[in-house]
Amino acid sequence: MLLRLDGRGPVYQQIYRALRTAILSGALPPHTRLSSTRGLAQETGVSRNTVVIAYEQLLAEGYIVGQLGSGTFVAPEIPDVAHTVVERSRIANAADDATAYDCSAYATRARMAPSPVMKPRALAVRYDFRYGLPDLEAFPFDIWRKLLARHIRAAAAEPLMYGAPEGSPRLREVITGYLRRARGVQCDPDQVLIVNGSQQALDLIARTLIDPDDVVVIENPNYLGAREVFLAAGARLVPGLVDTEGLKTDRLPPLARRARLIYVTPSHQFPTGAVMPLARRLALLAWTATHGSYVIEDDYDSEYRYEGRPIEAMQSLDRNGRVIYVGTLSKILFPALRLGYLVLPKPLVEVFRTVKHLSDRHTASLQQDVVTEFVAQGHFERHLRRTRKRNAQRRVALLHVLEREFGDAISVQGANAGLHVLAWFRDRPPEDAEEIVARAEQAGVGVYSVTPYYLDRPPAAGLVLGYAALNANEIEAGITLLAGHLRAERAL
């Protein structure tokens, strides 16, 4: 097997890239038998261990499969994770895209990543079950306007200067107090970094801690916004298996040992809604301490829990400074606010401040001041208690109408927390999800397929259904309408 090594980086990475390029280009078609690790080592003049590492990477990402007693073969189907690194040959051949020649490698990777941005629908929908949207009807806009007006008047009387990159000291203090009370997070205000939403938090993490070809373990399925950021940074994504208790910490692939980062959503796995139990959290923390990795704990909607006792953040269990905690206010207040925060291990604080400063100097001071007062005066937690009660009622309405209209035709996951559920169609293959979405749109109902969140083929057709932005009557009407149109198509 003749391989062209490009001379960039360690030899195992060159062998990995050469084999991956051959597989993606079709030079090594599916089911092709590969040389043994010993044979390829002799052909390329390297140690067998070097080839073993390259094969482990390809095996972990699904490019190749091993058959006991038969050898190693190109996988019959190439997974979506094949796009974790953009091939230079692919870009060079993109004659129909002149901009590809003018972009940096980062920009090219960013353009090739699967964007999480929801595109405008061809048809307007009356009932939109888009996930991640808060209950805006419950938000105390009168209080917010008064606080905003007060700070605008105060700002007009003094120079409006640049702020600190880490954010307002007062806001970091009130967030620290809230996190201690509500999530058990152990930190000082100096460890808190105010950012423009959780998406910037993930981007700063990637820019600060990832170099091209670094390994990042990510849940499968996973949040597209995180996947996009890591791909743009040039990371090699290694999927971690997810079951009804979140990431299977005892099934991490061998390549994970070299992971720089492990991205998890332990309090409400996105999109399945699984909650990671204490034993797995402790196992993951022990694993990262051994291997020198950092855990990114994305706590995106943990404030909403409807059954069982509240679960403390994984960060509260960290004794080795390996957890980077990501939080957002958009899911509680309103998405346009674009305000979130990082809680960093102390050794990372200074470098993250520098990277934040280079990115955008600081987050808007006026918004920080208003949120500070909103939290300090108790409005934030009162609003949270009110929306938690309203969301619980909407959750019950959704589960009730799903049971009534679909019965045993579906199973529901992730209903005990968060702002969405995952509905699986038991007897429909994954390919049917797009058809279901299209038929729902024709009926005036907006639903969303789970398929894009998988790095491979999901087990069945599934829908991610958000419910916080709809009232009980709208939820009832939307699901009833959806079920009626699906019955017209086929018997459920």
No. of helices (H) and no. of strands (E), the chain: 15, 16
pLDDT at 83 over 80: no
Query: Shortest CA distance to 348 belongs to which of 324, 326, 367?
Result: 324
At residue 114 the predicted structure's pLDDT band, cuts being 50, 70 and 90, is low
Cα 167 from Cα 170, distance rounded (Å): 9
Task: Report CA dihedral (413, 416, 418, 424) to the nearest 10 degrees.
Answer: 10
Percent of the residues in the chain that have a pLDDT greater than 90, as a whole number: 61
Q: What is the pLDDT of residue 101?
A: 52
How far from 63 is each of 121, 142, 420, CA to CA, in Å?
34, 56, 33
Please report the pLDDT score of residue 267 as a whole number: 93
Given this model, what pLDDT does residue 185 score? 95
Distance CA 191, CA 341 (A): 10
Task: Report pLDDT digits (tens) over 316-332.
Answer: 999 999 999 999 998 88
Q: What is the mean pLDDT of residues 400-416?
A: 95
Classify 152 as helix, strand or coil.
helix
Overall average pLDDT of the 174-178 stretch: 96
- How high is the pLDDT of residue 121? 62
pLDDT band for 404, please (50, 70, 90 cuts).
Answer: very high
Confidence of residue 122 (pLDDT cuts 50, 70, 90): low
Lowest-pLDDT range, 24-33, 156-165, 240-249? 156-165
Mean of the pLDDT values across residues 21-48? 85
Q: Would you state the pLDDT for residue 79?
A: 58
* Mean confidence (pLDDT) of the chain: 87
Q: Tell me the two tokens of residue 85.
A: 């690194």
Q: Out of 68-77, 189-198, 213-222, 406-415, which region has the weakest mean confidence (pLDDT)?
A: 68-77
Q: What is the pLDDT of residue 488?
A: 80
Report the pLDDT value the prediction gives residue 148, as an integer from 0 to 100: 92
The domains found in the chain, sorted by start residue, are 1-77 (1.10.10.10), 79-112 (no CATH), 127-133+382-489 (3.90.1150.10), 159-377 (3.40.640.10)
Predicted local confidence at residue 157, as pLDDT: 59
Question: What are the structure tokens assigned to 136, written together?
Answer: 């805006």
Which residues does 29 contact at the CB level (< 8 Å), separation at least 6? 74
- Work out the average pLDDT over 193-218: 95
In tens, the pLDDT along 331-370 reads 889 988 999 999 999 999 999 999 999 999 999 898 999 9
Using DSSP bridges, classify how beta strands 448-449 and 420-425 pair: parallel, antiparallel or unpaired. unpaired
Q: Exposure pattern of 251-273 as b/e (b: 16+ CB <10 Å)? A: ebbebbebbbbbbbbbbbbbbbb
Q: What one-letter code names the amino acid at 327? A: G
pLDDT on residue 302: 84
pLDDT confidence of residue 84: 41
In 188-347, which ranges are E strands? 192-195, 215-220, 236-243, 246-247, 259-264, 294-298, 323-328, 340-343
Mean pLDDT (whole number) for 171-196: 95
Q: Which residue has the higher pLDDT, 215 or 330?
A: 215
Task: Name the percent of the chain lying above pLDDT 70.
Answer: 89
Round to whole Å and give the CA distance between 245 and 230.
24
- Over residues 372-395, the pLDDT tens digits come to 999 999 999 999 999 999 999 999
Instruction: Give the model's confidence band at 8: pLDDT under 50 very low, under 70 low, under 90 confident, else very high.
Output: confident
SS3 assignment, position 190: helix
Are 168 and 370 spatial neighbours (Cβ–Cβ below 8 Å)?
no
In this prediction, residue 58 carries a pLDDT of: 87
| 192 pLDDT more than 60 | yes
